[in-house]
Amino acid sequence: MKNNRQFTKILGVGAYVPEKVVTNDDLCKIVDTSDEWIQSRTGIRERRIARADQTTSDLCVCAARRAMENANISVGDIDLILTGTITSDTAFPSTSTFVQKKLGVKDIPCIDYNVACSGLQYGLEIARSFIESQRYKKILLICGDKLSAVTDWQDRSTCVLFGDGAGAIVLSATEKEEENSIIDILLGANGEHTEILMMPAGGSREPASEESVKGRRHFLKMSGRDVFREAVKIMGSCAQEILDRNGMSANDVDFVVTHQANWRIIDAIRERLNVPSEKVCVTIDKYGNTSASSCIIAIDSLIGSNKIVPGSKVLTVSFGAGLTWGAAILKF
């Protein structure tokens, strides 16, 4: 083991969304809703939905390949796969092991973690700890979800909100402090709020039964107003806290990338941080809420349009089921 201090460098980012576009008008054909309601309450115009034969690991593999290509590395260079998902291919084994097989690598460790939409920030913290403790050198961090598989397409209060997608980041050890990409990470959770956003059945608390299926309890259930209120409160204070403890203001970052759950939530965070809208990335109109991948998809789109360039600083903040939350300040 080396003794020199190691830092964590973002080598490459990649994202994938399925080809199929489902518009708000398409949803009007299956539930009692309207394009006007969905757009005015959420900012969503359309979302991508995976094919029936596409699993979460398929989405993850597409994003991972793009991230590795952008990082200019091959799959053989990766020594750990870390996947944040709430819609794993099967209850077990982990989605990471399916990803490993599909990427054609063997023997490297595979870990899944479940923090819902805060997956990017939690994943960065886990990856950074592994790299800085000198256990691993190149980590493939993936956040992916096929939320359409746990969406109740008869429930208009949730089915209009979500989409499928995946994002991936290749993180590498470096001895050069100037290459360090992770300025700070702040994580938190409050188990008092487990009941306001969950899939009630299918776990040890309520194993699958005829009743659980009839009761549609294998689908995502959400108390939208409660989640909305907590999201604004938590993401606002978490973003402010990480800036404060680094002696920064939102003016010191080039972009703010929040979890894409609702345009009104994103705008409330923008107001709280007092930043102009040009600095705040919004992709929810095109993809809906894609869970943990939403921040990576947004970062990938900023890189793709040459807005994030080497040296850019990005504040990213998320919240998700649990409730969990996290913020990170990154330097590209």
Residues lying near ligand UT7 in the complex (CB under 6 A): 33, 37-38, 41-42, 117, 156-157, 160, 224-225, 227-228, 231, 261-262, 265, 289, 320
Q: Is 193 a catalytic residue?
A: no
What minimum distance in Å lies between the beta carbon of 259 and ligand UT7? 6
253 vs 321, beta carbon nearer ligand UT7:
321
What minimum distance in Å lies between the beta carbon of 195 and ligand UT7? 14
59 vs 227, beta carbon nearer ligand UT7:
227
What minimum distance in Å lies between the beta carbon of 159 and ligand UT7? 8
Residue 268 tokens read as 């409330």
Cβ of 78: how many Cβ atoms within 10 Å? 22
Q: Indicate which residue of 143, 159, 289, 295 is catalytic.
A: 289
139 vs 298, beta carbon nearer ligand UT7:
298
SS3 label, residue 144: strand
27 vs 103, beta carbon nearer ligand UT7:
27
CA 48 to chain centre: 15
Q: Indicate which residue of 70, 159, 259, 262 is catalytic.
A: 259
Residue 136 tokens read as 């691993």
Q: Which residue is nearest to ligand UT7 (CB)?
A: 224
Write out 248-288 in H/E/C secondary structure. Answer: CCHHHCCEEEECCCCHHHHHHHHHHHCCCHHHECCCHHHHC
What minimum distance in Å lies between the beta carbon of 44 and ligand UT7? 9
H runs (alpha helix) in the chain:
24-28, 35-42, 56-71, 95-103, 119-132, 156-159, 210-214, 224-245, 263-273, 284-287, 293-304
Q: Is 262 a catalytic residue?
A: no
Q: Is 289 a catalytic residue?
A: yes
Which contiguous run of DSSP H or E holds residue 112?
A: strand 110-113
- Catalytically active residues are 117, 259, 289
